[in-house]
Amino acid sequence: MDIFIITGPPYSGKGTQCEILKKQLNYGHISTGDRCRVEKNNQTEIGKILSEYEEKGNLVPDSIIKDLFEKIIDENIEEKAIILDGYPRTIPQVRDLIDLTTSKGLKIKKVISISVPHFELLNRAKFRAKTSTRVDDSNIKIQEKRIKVFEEFTLPAINFMNSELDFVEIDGHGSIEETNEKIIENLN
Ligand code: AMP
């Protein structure tokens, strides 16, 4: 199985891009955020723990995400390729992913980092607040917190992936179609 990582800040459009890519390429799509929301809605044991992090805009601890991610990978092991959306998000998660893929003989083919300026993220967050049903989009303070958490924990993880893996940064400032074209150009 080949693994493609799409990373970027909240409101960079990575979820939208992953949805488009999985249809274009017929790849599997793993969104740890979507999976956390499913666990929460189904009120599973892990779901009850996860909701307190999501509602405050905080990251779920690495040890919990590690176990959840391993489970998801095993469920998707038959896919020829998968797109990771929202994982890894911290330096320990990058290390865990590299260890897991090495032990399972999977290949991380490419990391695509979507970059959007801070002011544009805030504009998009305001727009999303009007349309989204997500608890962590409901309030500007939680939205800002998610961007701050990204800058504190995920940006260093992105820099680490840049040094360790096949990495490309693309400008996500344009339209959905323009960003999709840039991703496709850079995927191989
Ligand atoms: P997302 O839909 O990717 O924005 O994720 C929503 C929320 O799920 C995050 O704010 C975290 O609380 C949790 N989450 C999703 N993926 C991760 C991850 N890789 N590490 C820690 N927390 C995560």
Q: What is the pLDDT of residues 146-166, one digit of tens each?
A: 999 999 999 999 999 999 999
Q: Which pLDDT does position 132 carry in this prediction?
A: 81
Ligand 1 centroid to residue 53 C-alpha, Å: 9
Beta-sheet strands, E only, within the chain: 2-7, 28-31, 81-85, 107-115, 167-171
Structure tokens at 180: 């999709």
Question: CA–CA separation, 108 vs 44, rounded Å?
Answer: 30
Distance of CA 72 to the CA centre of its chain: 14
For 54-112, write each residue's pLDDT tens digit. Answer: 888 999 999 999 999 999 999 999 999 999 999 999 999 999 999 999 999 999 999 99
Local structure of 140: helix, strand or coil: helix
- Is the Cβ atom of 59 under 6 angstroms away from ligand 1? yes
pTM: 0.94
Structural tokens at position 97: 């992913």
* pLDDT grade for 31, boundaries at 50, 70 and 90: very high
Q: Is the CB of 86 under 6 A from ligand 1?
A: yes
The lowest-confidence range among 80-89, 117-126, 145-154, 176-185 is 117-126
